[in-house]
Amino acid sequence: MSTIFTKIVKGEIPCYKIAEDDNYLAFLDINPLAQGHTLVIPKKEVDYIFDVDDQLLGGMMIFSKRVALAIEKAVPCKRVGIAVLGLEVPHAHIHLIPINNLGDINFSNPKLKFSSQEFAETARIISANL
Ligand code: AMP
């Protein structure tokens, strides 16, 4: 069965899209730790990030860099932190999270709630900074 992220890639489930090319997709995390919390995935369905082949994994980091620089411009923050967990969704993904201090990237923190309009506006502003 397809992962939820493959369903997003195929357009079967909606997402707040930030960027896309032939191999990768970036979209907002729906349970964000911060405004602008973004996920970058390879379109190819691979569970564990360290099972992604070298070329695709290298490209994923370059794609993430471009997205992170756009997040930085769109959302006030000191840096964009990067994390890989993969405990919930078995489809490799990188979390890009705007941070100001160490505590901002603690996945035990309560997740933020935004309206669909707010998510859409955040995605629009980040995309505009790509
Ligand atoms: P993890 O696999 O532990 O890295 O966590 C998966 C992340 O995917 C969580 O932060 C979820 O909020 C996020 N997530 C799950 N389903 C969706 C979805 N349909 N759209 C956006 N983000 C999602």
Q: What is the pLDDT of residues 15-54, one digit of tens each?
A: 999 999 999 999 999 999 999 999 999 999 999 999 999 9
The pick from 18, 30, 91, 93 for probing ligand 1's pocket by mutation, whose C-beta has the most ligand atoms within 8 angstroms, reads: 30
Does the residue 130 lie in any domain? no
Q: Is the CB of 82 inside a 6 Å radius of any atom of ligand 1?
A: no
- Assess if residue 10 is contained within a domain: yes
User: Greatest CA separation found in the chain?
Assistant: 39
Residues 66-119 pLDDT 10s: 999 999 999 999 999 999 999 999 999 999 999 999 999 999 999 999 999 999
For 22, the domain range is: 4-125
Q: Taking a C-beta distance cutoff of 8 angstroms, is the pair 39, 17 a contact?
A: no
For the Cβ of 33 lying below 6 angstroms from any atom of ligand 1, the answer is no
Q: Is the CB of 86 under 6 A from ligand 1?
A: yes
pTM of the full predicted structure?
A: 0.98
Domain with residue 73: its CATH number is 3.30.428.10
The count of domains in the chain is 1
Q: What is the spatial distance between Cα 49 and Cα 105, in angstroms, rounded to a whole number?
A: 19
Segment holding 118, helix H or strand E: helix 116-128
The answer to whether residues 70 and 129 touch, using CB atoms and an 8 Å cutoff, is yes
CA-27 nearest atom, ligand 1: 21
